[in-house]
Structures are given as structure tokens and as C-alpha cells.
Amino acid sequence: MEAKLQFHTILDQVFREYRKVFGDLYSRVSLLILKEYPTSGAVLTAGESKLAESVIEFCPSRSGQWAWEKAKKIMDSASRKFIPTQEK
């Protein structure tokens, strides 16, 4: 349990919006995508086509359409800027 909490803490620092992409953050495809593209900058540099290819490679049991939808969600999440709220 502690490892998952540490994982969430780190993910929130480097790629907060990623948690909304996959239903299961710890699924094989999700973890392999994070390993290949660990930050939002890495995702944006790779681009949607490369992401879709990676999703297809990491999860061949799913359709190409599913892979492209995930790639778009990953790109969208990476393009959102995380702005921390300031406490008063």
C-alpha cells in the first residue's frame, strides 16, 4: 500500500492528469506507457501517432480504435497544465 501512495505522489508531481486516462492505473498497458513516456513533456514530444503505436504494441488484444482513443486521452492529459492552488 505504501508503494502505491508513493507512486501517486510522484505521478502527481510529474504528470497529474495521467490518472484520468486509464480505468486501472496499474494495468500493464498503463504502466508500460508511463515507463516509456514518464512525463507530460515526453508524451508531447512523442506525439499522438507514436503513442497510439505504443498502446497497440503494449496491448495487442485491444482494437486500433481503442489505442487511438487512449493516445488522444494521453495527449489531452499531457497538454493540460497543472497549476497548484494556493492556500489562503
Q: Domain for residue 44, yes or no?
A: yes
Domain coverage including residue 26: 2-79
Q: Domain for residue 19, yes or no?
A: yes
CA angle at residue 11 from 29 to 33, to 5 degrees?
20
Q: Domain for residue 84, yes or no?
A: no
Rounded to two decimals, the pTM is 0.79
Average pLDDT on 62-83 reads: 88
Q: Domain for residue 27, yes or no?
A: yes
Q: Total domain count for the chain? A: 1
Residue-wise pLDDT tens digits, 1-45 = 788 888 878 887 778 788 889 888 899 999 999 999 988 889 999
Q: Domain for residue 22, yes or no?
A: yes
Q: CA 77, CA 17: separation in Å to the nearest integer?
A: 5
Q: Domain for residue 88, yes or no?
A: no
**pLDDT at residue 88, rounded to an integer:** 45
